[in-house]
């Protein structure tokens, strides 16, 4: 709402007053309300008499935050702040992103999901249980914000590397949307987390008296598809400019849902496409170190689910842009799944693996595949902890002057190897990235700063670009351009210390560049819903929400 027209000592009549204002996290300023605001808005006596600045409030929050004994307690502390004062929450997170991103999102959000029913304080977002099919429009109308631009929706079946979390997976959309705002500047009032609760196969939750979801096994098949379709149809009807991000759906649904909806609405799957873009960006940065082309790379994936296939598909698209044929590009990507190397001679391969099933002898495991194929890069998306063994990494180092080792599985406990293992076992020659953060590593007197291939480098900027230009669809070309733009933002000083992604301290700046690049593709492909601004980057930057208190009385 605009405050510019308020007269001296007058408040906007649409504002809530008194305790209702203090309980609205989007408007509440707590002890930062001025004396004039307290008088005009019915707050006199409801707050301690001293007026604090945001900086002083932040100091109090940080003191309490840093006194917490565990990361889960820190997560709860920040979630409680977000529930009562979103502006202060985002100010603190943005100013301390290196420290707080692992708490707000991976890896701690995984633990928070596992404990969700036991640490629950206040609801955030919308819960849509399967029992309410036919009534989803009514539920959506209960959401108070009328201009929703980004929805992150999950059914909780494949949360990080933790498996089926059912309704407890709501922590993921909440955390993801916090990063849309903190990292790119999408206004929090335009963000909506959604849990489609269709049941769970997690017997521990079904037996837990504090579990918060519906208590039956998962709905499958056509009934599931119809339920998702009802949600999407009603959401797009109510908010026609909305971007719907699919999050943490299991493989058996994720591929189908994306293919079914990507050309009908503005949507993407971050596990597939966001992960692909941030991985491709890491490869582009790594190639600045090796001085090789993308088409010269032979890439071996451990894990052939939605993340791995999504990465390979985007890499193939980028190789084609560099002049390779489709057949040649696919031949550069190889997969090891739970049964061994994906090859043509194997029976009963699922459809999404067939295009990467090459006609070579079968290898039973990752090490055998590395020895046979001699890849330049291995990418772990398996959620199998420590699967990049010493022998695997030493073999990669024997075959490559600068082996590319990406251990991308989340959370940290599922990582294929640690940064220290990759650097030590490769003799300090690995170009390393991980999905969850690892601390700097000293090897033979040199300090390496491992890159975190965090999707937060990509999806917030893509979302900002889509929202800013009101794009009708999100295309593979947008993700490829986002990857190139992200890689371009890596400084030479970053590469010198082994970091193949920009510093998190620059993420809002980087997100603006990505947003402008994505919007440029939308305009070029006639997918934008607005007239093109003269200066696209400046326009995107002007759309970035800033966590600053507004004056409610003037």
Q: In what order do the strands lie in the sheet with 243-246?
A: 126-129, 191-197, 150-154, 243-246, 267-269
CATH superfamily of 100-265: Malic enzyme, N-terminal domain (3.40.50.10380)
DSSP code at position 39: H
Q: How far apart are CA 485 and CA 479, in angstroms?
A: 10
Pair 367, 343: CB distance under 8 Å: no
- State phi, psi for 191 to the nearest 5 degrees: -110, 135
Arithmetic mean of pLDDT over the chain: 95
Q: Are strands 446-448 and 441-443 parallel, antiparallel or unpaired?
A: antiparallel
Q: How far apart are CA 157 and CA 306, in angstroms?
A: 13
Q: How far apart are CA 345 and CA 159, in angstroms?
A: 32
Phi-psi region of 507 (alpha: psi -120 to 50; beta: other; left: phi over 0): alpha
CATH 3.40.50.10380 residue ranges for the chain: 100-265
DSSP code at position 337: E
Pair 490, 501: CB distance under 8 Å: yes
**Hey, what long-range contacts does 23-31 have (CB within 8 A, 24 or more apart)?**
23/84, 25/82, 25/83, 25/84, 25/85, 25/86, 26/86, 26/87, 26/188, 26/189, 27/552, 28/84, 28/85, 29/85, 29/87, 29/88, 29/549, 30/57, 30/84, 30/85, 30/88, 31/57
Kindly state the helix (H) or strand (E) to which residue 293 belongs, with its residue range. Answer: none
Measuring CA to CA, how many Å separate 245 from each of 191, 194, 248? 11, 10, 10
CATH 3.40.50.720 residue ranges for the chain: 273-454
Q: How far apart are CA 45 and CA 38, in angstroms?
A: 9
Other Cβ atoms closer than 10 A to 490: 22
Longest dimension (CA), the chain: 80
- Count of alpha carbons within 13 Å of 229, Cβ hemisphere only? 9
Active-site residues, by number, are 105, 176
Q: How far apart are CA 171 and CA 118, in angstroms?
A: 13
CATH number of 273-454: 3.40.50.720
pLDDT value of residue 44: 97
pLDDT value of residue 468: 98
- Count of alpha carbons within 13 Å of 126, Cβ hemisphere only? 23
- State phi, psi for 43 to the nearest 5 degrees: -105, -5
Residues with Cβ within 8 Å of residue 149, at least 6 apart in sequence:
186, 190, 191, 239, 241, 242, 243, 467
pLDDT value of residue 168: 98
Query: Within 85-161, where are the H helices?
Result: 86-95, 97-104, 108-114, 116-119, 136-141
Q: Give which of 210, 183, 55 is closest to 512, Cα–Cα.
A: 183
Q: How far apart are CA 470 and CA 187, in angstroms?
A: 15
Pair 471, 529: CB distance under 8 Å: yes
| Low-confidence residues of the chain: pLDDT under 50 | 1-9
Q: How far apart are CA 36 and CA 42, in angstroms?
A: 10
pLDDT value of residue 10: 63
Q: How far apart are CA 320 and CA 327, in angstroms?
A: 10
Pair 166, 211: CB distance under 8 Å: yes
Q: How far apart are CA 495 and CA 498, in angstroms?
A: 5
């Amino acid at each position: 709402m605009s405050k510019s027209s308020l007269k001296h000592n007058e408040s906007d009549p649409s504002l809530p007053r008194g305790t209702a204002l203090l309980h609205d996290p989007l408007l509440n300023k707590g002890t930062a309300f001025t004396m004039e605001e307290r008088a005009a808005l019915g707050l006199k006596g409801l707050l301690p008499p001293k007026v604090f600045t945001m900086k002083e409030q932040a100091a109090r929050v940080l003191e309490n935050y840093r006194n917490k004994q565990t990361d889960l307690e820190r997560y709860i502390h920040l979630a409680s702040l977000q529930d009562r004062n979103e502006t202060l929450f985002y100010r603190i997170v943005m100013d301390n992103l290196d420290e707080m991103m692992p708490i707000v999102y991976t890896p701690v959000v995984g633990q928070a999901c596992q404990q969700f029913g036991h640490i629950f304080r206040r609801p955030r977002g919308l819960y849509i249980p399967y029992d309410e099919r036919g009534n989803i429009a009514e539920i959506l109308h209960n959401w108070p914000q009328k201009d929703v631009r980004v929805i992150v929706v999950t059914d909780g079946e494949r949360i990080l590397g933790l498996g089926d979390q059912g309704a407890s997976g709501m922590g993921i959309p909440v955390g993801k949307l916090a990063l849309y705002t903190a990292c790119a500047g999408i206004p929090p009032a335009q963000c909506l987390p959604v849990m489609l609760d269709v049941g769970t196969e997690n017997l521990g939750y079904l037996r837990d008296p504090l579990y918060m979801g519906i208590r039956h096994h998962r709905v499958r098949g056509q009934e599931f598809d119809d339920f998702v379709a009802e949600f999407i149809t009603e959401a797009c009807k109510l908010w026609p400019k909305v971007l719907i991000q699919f999050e943490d759906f299991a493989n058996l649904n994720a591929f189908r849902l994306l293919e079914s909806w990507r050309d009908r609405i503005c949507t993407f799957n971050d596990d597939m496409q966001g992960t692909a873009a941030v991985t491709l960006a890491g490869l582009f940065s790594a190639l600045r170190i090796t001085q090789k082309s993308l088409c010269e790379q032979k890439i071996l994936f451990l894990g052939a689910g939605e993340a791995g296939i999504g990465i390979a598909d985007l890499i193939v698209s980028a190789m084609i842009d560099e002049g390779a044929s489709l057949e040649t590009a696919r031949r550069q990507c190889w997969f090891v799944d739970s049964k061994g190397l994906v090859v043509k001679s194997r029976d009963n391969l699922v459809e999404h693996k067939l295009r990467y099933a090459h006609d070579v002898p079968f290898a039973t495991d990752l090490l055998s595949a590395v020895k046979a194929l001699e890849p330049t890069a291995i990418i772990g998306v398996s959620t199998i902890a420590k699967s990049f063994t010493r022998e695997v990494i030493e073999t990669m180092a024997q075959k490559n002057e600068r082996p590319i080792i990406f251990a991308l599985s989340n959370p940290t406990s599922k990582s294929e190897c640690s940064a220290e293992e990759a650097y030590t076992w490769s003799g300090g020659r690995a170009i390393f990235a991980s999905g969850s953060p690892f601390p700097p590593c000293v090897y033979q007197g040199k300090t390496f700063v491992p890159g975190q291939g965090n999707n937060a480098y990509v999806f917030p900027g893509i979302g900002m670009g889509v929202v800013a230009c009101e794009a009708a669809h999100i295309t593979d070309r947008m993700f490829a351009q986002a990857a190139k733009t992200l890689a371009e933002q890596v400084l030479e000083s970053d590469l010198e210390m082994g970091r193949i992604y920009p510093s998190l301290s620059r993420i809002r700046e980087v997100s603006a560049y990505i947003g402008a690049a994505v919007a440029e593709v939308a305009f070029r492909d006639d997918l934008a819903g607005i007239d093109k601004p003269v200066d696209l980057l400046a326009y995107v930057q002007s759309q970035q929400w800033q966590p600053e208190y507004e004056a409610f009385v003037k």
